Amino acid sequence: MVYSVPVIVFMDDVSGNMSKQWNKHHAVYMSNGNLPREMVEKEFCVRFVSSSPNAAPMELMRAMRDSIRQVNSTWDCKDEDRVILLPYGLFFGGDNPMQAEECSQGGVNSSHFCRTCDVGGTNEFKQSHAGYQSLFTSGNLRNPKDTKDDILRQFKTAVEPGAANKLKHSFQQSGIRDSTSSSILDAVVNMGKKLRTKKGDASGPLTEAEIRAKLEKEMEDLLRGQAAEDTINPLLGMDGVNIHMDTPTEILHTVPLGVVKYLWSQTITVLDEKKLLGTFQTRLDSVDVKGLNSAAIDAAYMVRHRQSLIGKHFKSLAQVMPFLVYDLVPCEVLDAWTRLGELVVLIWHTEINNMETYLVS
């Protein structure tokens, strides 16, 4: 028997302590995408893979990729026979910054901020009428081959004169920045700066050819005998994976901890200035949660700790805010909450449908 097993991979940075003390490390988990929806997220169906406070995220991902490649056969205890396994990466979960790193993309602060397409541009362009409108349409889709080629070009650029500015321009133009190889490029660029500003010995300053030879030797030493393409993001060459398309948007940080959180902060500021927090708390406390897709609402806690709420609080607020602040805030704020409530419903429904499509396919 041959079994094809879609694997859901999750990686994020987490705290290793029970207290508030932050002891950052990265952890990787896997789930079997063949499992039914009601089972796939249960704790006993999530397999711990690796964790480290020292290894970089992509180093952990390289080990994950290699382990998937090495799987070929196992023992089926039900049929009591050997079977062939063909695991493959279905999609990679995580928050937006982690998924951007998995795509070798610079994140939301880049000129081209999307890890899936090349939408964006310079600040001047994005602030223009045409540029702003373009942000609401899809750009050209990224693909792993082009991303990989762009990173390899950065290796060649690192030994050239003015490499720092050239690489910075490259990052800005493409939005591609590979965290796996960035330390190597930085070391070579810094060495190039020192060699080109060095006066030299009695024989005079080094020629450009000599400097380039030294930098290429330094890069070889840093690569430790490996080819450049073997040291970059391992997910760009993973079989069956298009990492730009296989990192579905993580709703928690995009919606509840994104736009909902920002609008909540502005609304609370308005209510506090008008001395209406008490009225708001009373109304929030009287909400009947039977018709809501959320847990019980603790109004006193949410008002007292209004600057420290988490995802479940914002999920509840997005559903009820228009009914609580209809006469407490300006019309623009009320309209924003109404539109946001509609948007949240659409996004959550779309996310559920996309997840089910991934698992079914």
Q: Domain check: are 232 and 255 in the same one? A: no
The whole-number average pLDDT for the span 88-96 is 90
Residues 58 and 138 in one domain: no
266 occurs within a structural domain: yes
The answer to the question of residue 114 being in a domain is no
CB atoms within 10 A of CB 294: 15
User: 223 and 259 share a domain?
Assistant: no
Looking at the fold, whether 211 and 271 belong to one and the same domain comes out as no
The reply to whether 186 and 265 lie within a common domain is: no
- The chain-wide mean pLDDT, for the chain, equals 86
| pLDDT over threshold 70, residue 117 | yes
Helix (H, G, I), strand (E, B) or coil at 91: strand
- 267 in the same domain as 211: no
127, 224: one domain: yes
pLDDT at 12: 87
- pLDDT above 70 covers a percentage of the chain that reads 91
pLDDT(335) > 90? yes
Domain presence at residue 88: yes
Closest CA to 150 of 185, 124, 125, 122: 185
Predicted pLDDT of residue 354: 57
pLDDT in tens, 62-76: 999 988 888 878 888
Residue 243 counted as domain residue: no
**Is 356 in the same domain as 319?**
yes
Mark whether 223 and 312 lie in a shared domain: no
Last residue of a domain, one of 180, 203, 237: 237
Does residue 85 form part of some domain? Answer: yes
Domain match, 227 and 260 both: no
Torsion of CA 165, 167, 172, 178, to 10 degrees: -150
Residue 248 is predicted with a pLDDT of: 87
> Which pLDDT score is estimated for 207?
85
Q: For position 15, what pLDDT does the model report? A: 67
Element (H, E) at 321: helix 311-324
Question: Is 258 found in the same domain as 215?
Answer: no
Residue-wise pLDDT tens digits, 254-273: 888 888 999 999 999 999 99
Domain that holds residue 274: 251-360
Residue 313 pLDDT greater than 60, yes or no: yes
3-state secondary structure (DSSP) of residue 238: coil
Q: What is the mean pLDDT of residues 185-213?
A: 81
Last-in-domain residue among 212, 237, 262: 237
DSSP structure class, residue 162: T
For 28-37, which contacts have Cβ atoms below 8 Å and span 24 or more sequence positions? 28/60, 28/61, 28/64, 30/64, 31/7, 32/5, 32/6, 32/7, 32/8, 33/5, 33/6, 33/7, 33/8, 33/90, 33/358, 33/359, 34/5, 34/6, 37/355, 37/356, 37/359
Q: Does residue 244 belong to any structural domain of this protein?
A: no
Q: Indicate whether 357 pLDDT > 60.
A: no
φ/ψ (deg, to 5) at 295: -80, 180
Q: What backbone phi and psi angles, to 5 degrees, belong to 46?
A: -105, 120
In a domain? residue 118? no
From 205, 237, 269, the end of a domain falls on: 237
Domain annotation covers residue 242:
no
Based on the fold, state whether residues 265 and 354 are members of the same structural domain: yes
Count of domains forming the chain: 3
- pTM for this one? 0.78
